[in-house]
Each structure stands twice: as C-alpha cells, then as structure tokens.
C-alpha cells in the first residue's frame, strides 16, 4: 500500500538514500518518502534531509516500519509532527515547520538514539 499519490513527482534530494516525491495537496506542497524497508540509520538520515525542505507552508510525510522515537526530541523545537499507525503495521509521520521556529535543529545529528 503506497501513501505516495499517483500524481506525485519524483525529486532529487541531496543526501537522501531513498526516493523522495512531491505533490500539491489542498494548495500546499507535500513531500513524501518511505523508509519502511530500510534499517538504521536510513530513516533518521532521510528524515533530517527531508525536514530541511520544509517552510511554514509545506509538509513532509514519512512512512516507516515504526515511529522514529529518537528523531522527535531532536526536532521538537522547530517542527510539529503527527503519528498515525497504518493498518499494515507501518507508521505514518506528518511533519510541519513551526511558525517562528528558531532553527535549533542539528540536521547533522543522524544517529538513531535521542
């Protein structure tokens, strides 16, 4: 089951180890990637490069085999996130940039532990 819309366009994202896509949903730019078949550190690496694409008007959808608990403390000052458990056992995370974020996230911090 793919969460990436059929009309999504594949894009090149520097530093990514999986394919990234983008589409317009409700007038807003949405980026997508799926690391559900990847092992560490790929989910963290791709989340960090994907989050750098965001501004206050876009969002990032990540599909993974589970919620990346080690990621959330690293980004919580600058990004909102919502986690949904999918019927197939995977997790879907939707990230948005906080209004007036102070850009405190260390995007080079890609180790999997808090």
The string of DSSP codes covering 77-102 is TTEEEEEEE-TTS-EEEEEEEPTT--
102 pLDDT band, cuts 50/70/90, is: confident
User: Looking at domain 9-97, which of 3.40.50.300, 3.30.110.40, 3.40.309.10, 3.30.70.20 is its CATH number?
Assistant: 3.30.110.40
How high is the pLDDT of residue 113? 56
Look at the chain and count its residues.
114
Residue pLDDT, tens place only, 5-49: 999 999 999 999 999 999 999 899 999 999 999 999 999 999 999
Distance CA 95, CA 113 (A): 19
Q: What is the mean pLDDT of residues 60-84?
A: 96
Distance CA 44, CA 27 (A): 28
* Per-domain residue ranges of the chain: 9-97
Q: pTM of this prediction?
A: 0.93
Query: Within 10 A of 85 (CB to CB), how many other CB atoms are there?
Result: 11
């Amino acid at each position: 089951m793919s969460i990436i819309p059929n009309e999504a366009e594949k894009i090149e994202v520097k530093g990514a180890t999986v394919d990234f896509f983008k589409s317009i949903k409700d007038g807003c730019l949405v980026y997508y990637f799926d690391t559900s078949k990847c092992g560490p550190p790929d989910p963290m690496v791709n989340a960090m490069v994907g989050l750098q694409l965001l501004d206050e008007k876009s969002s990032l959808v990540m599909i993974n085999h589970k919620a990346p608990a080690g990621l959330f403390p690293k980004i919580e000052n600058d990004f909102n996130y919502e986690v949904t458990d999918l019927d197939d056992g995977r997790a879907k995370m939707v990230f948005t940039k906080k209004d007036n974020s102070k850009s405190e996230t260390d995007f080079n911090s890609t180790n999997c532990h808090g």
